[in-house]
Copies of this chain bind each other. A is one copy, B any other.
Amino acid sequence: MRFLKGIRILAVAAIATGSAALQAVAQTDALPSWNEGPAKAAITDFIQRVTLQGGPDFVPVSERIATFDNDGTLWTEQPMYVEAEFVLARAEEMARSNPDLADRQPFKAILGKGRADLVTLPEQDIADLAIATHSGMTTSAFERTVLDWLATARHSRFDRPYTSLVYQPMVELLAYLRTNGFKTFIVSGGGVEFMRPWTEKAYGIPPEQVVGSSGKTVYRLEGDTPVIDKLPTVEFVDDGPGKPVGINRFIGRRPVFAAGNSDGDLQMLQWTTLNSGPRFALIVHHTDGEREYAYDRQSRVGRLDKALDDAPRRGWLVVDMKNDWKTIFKP
């Protein structure tokens, strides 16, 4: 498989040196933010093969399912998941408007702490705060809260709105897949109701194609107004082995194409590629400390270790952000 893939990459490179081929590439460059090279060639070669009607690797449109992790794969996840930033901001706001909360956990854990402490807050504190800030309101009230926060919050290093910190090469890849008949999904450990309000605008992915973690909810009629309340109970964690489970539950088909960036995506990449027929998986490797962040095996957030070890034998493409991407963020 890998051997054959290598041959194809060489073939593409050889063809690309001819002037006619260069012209063809220029006309059809759906991935302008990707540098020319084996990573880009591997992607375009795969798409050409699975869309070639009558070819040996042809995949019918109905089966062209592509799943993408979100944090660290489609947008920045450092120094904290964006959703964790939201949780901390919301928790502070709740404690400010209701001083009784200040003495109670999980709120007490964060009050009076500076940014350096918040970034290293234990995961359990973040989880407790996530539950507290994601419940006790209706789904539509929560949606407004998310959109209001995103409208004003800015990233601590880049001083830009979070939704502008999406990766331009990945936005192009999503569009390229859709142009080629793929249905693109997000499959993220993040909260599904945190993502759905903005994924269509940011990535062209509609709410019904976002799979994520969730809390329990309950329906009720308030007078003649139906509402859905968010309860303080975790329902589903869409991470690690939960990703194939989420894909099976929400999509009901195995993907043909998947992209991730951490060990939380390992099982999704397995579920996608360890199957008959042509399959493709890629890992976004954060190698660019200058333009974004450089991290993998030792990182607290988005640790990439086992999946990086497995990539060669599984034939997963490891995308080197520093060398493979011309641009990082959406202009």
Contacts and interface: CB of A to CB of B under 8 A. Distances in A.
A218 interface: yes
B248 A228 contact: yes
A245 B226 contact: no
Given A208-B183, A244-B219, A62 B252 contact: no
A208 B249 contact: no
A270 B226 contact: yes
Contact of A251 (B207, B244, B249): B207
A137 B3 CA distance: 36
A200 interface: yes
Contacts of A287: none
A244 B207 CA distance: 15
A140 to B, nearest CB: 9
Contacts of A139: 248
Nearest to A195: B252
B207 A249 contact: no
A228 B200 contact: no
Contact of A221 (B200, B253, B270): B270
Interface in A203-227: 206-210, 214, 217-221, 224-226
A246 to B, nearest CB: 10
A207 B185 CA distance: 14
Nearest to A251: B208
Nearest to A224: B274
A201 to B, nearest CB: 11
B270 A217 contact: no
A214 B249 contact: yes
A196 interface: yes
A245 B218 contact: yes
A237 to B, nearest CB: 12
Interface string A256-271: 0000000000010011
A192 interface: yes
A183 B218 CA distance: 25
Contacts of A243: 219
Given A196-B252, A253-B207, A219 B62 contact: no
Interface in A262-293: 267, 270-271, 274-275
Interface string A224-240: 11101000000000000
Contact of A226 (B206, B209, B271): B271
A143 to B, nearest CB: 10
Contacts of A32: none
A-B pairs, top 7 by smallest CB distance, nearest first, are: A207-B252, A219-B241, A219-B244, A196-B252, A208-B251, A226-B271, A226-B270
